Structure 1
């Protein structure tokens, strides 16, 4: 009579407590930022050159004062087209940017951040600490985090 099944010595598996995955672990820290007195045309060139869809607007103290996106630039182009004029050199970031900027905490769990993206329909959130811009998290950063955790538990 042979051995039917042998699994070896059974030992209890010890589950490691899972640490929360934080926004600060995946946020971008080296940001392309804009100043409020920059011309829109310069912003458009920067967006295209760096293959980004927008960025934070900061003052000389690196404090977040707004955010500018492709959509904001498109509005300026549309207005120029409406009046059959070239893009006005006096059109600056200050006139086009969104001043009411929603931010998130760098200590937020990455899954809570994903829900916040779904609820708000935003593509990026700046992260501010002590009044200074320290980073930004995008939807793409959340996707990268999910791919890295593919084999792990979703806790």
Structure 2
């Protein structure tokens, strides 16, 4: 018998490990700032400024995703309130959130997720499991994943 090389198995094992670590769920944010439909847009604006975020998911009491509210939604509400001369504190998140929310699967490959971002022009995708919000992946999370994986086989 000859000497067996361990280069092949090691290389294959590394490739398997890198492929497994390419899932959206490995890079998504799990500790999310969420909003309730009954909150005022003014509260949302305060939170967006305080935490330096551009938006967030809206959930019900069961932590089920019912919408997303963004800076743009808040700005639109401010603009409308000025135009119609109506105070901002009387408007709830539910009136201004995007209700038709596109989600992404946590098992999706980060490079496929990157393509979804390019195709949709969205800044974030919520991840839902069994009807419950479990996380969110942002464009910045995809960039972080790419930098962490730099030098690995990206196929």
TM more than 0.5: yes
Shift of 1:85: 4.3
The aligned counterpart of 1:143 is 143
Shift of 1:36: 0.1
Query: 1:45, 1:144 → 2: CA distance?
Result: 27
Q: Secondary structure at the match of 1:67?
A: strand
- Aligned: 1:127 with 2:127: yes
The aligned counterpart of 1:3 is none
Unaligned runs of 5+ in 2: none
Unaligned runs of 5+ in 1: 1-10
- Give matches, 1:105-116, under 5 Å: 105-116=105-116
The aligned counterpart of 1:4 is none
* Structure-2-length-normalised TM-score: 0.89
Higher-Rg member (1/2): 1
Number of residue equivalences: 144
Q: How far does the alpha carbon of each residue in 1:16-59 deviate from its partner, in whole angstroms, 9 at most, with x for none?
A: 23324100000000000000000000000000000000000000
Query: 1:61, 1:140 → 2: CA distance?
Result: 28
* Structure-1-length-normalised TM-score: 0.89
Shift of 1:109: 0.4
- Give the RMSD, CA atoms, in angstroms: 1.3
Query: 1:60, 1:73 → 2: CA distance?
Result: 22
- Aligned: 1:54 with 2:35: no
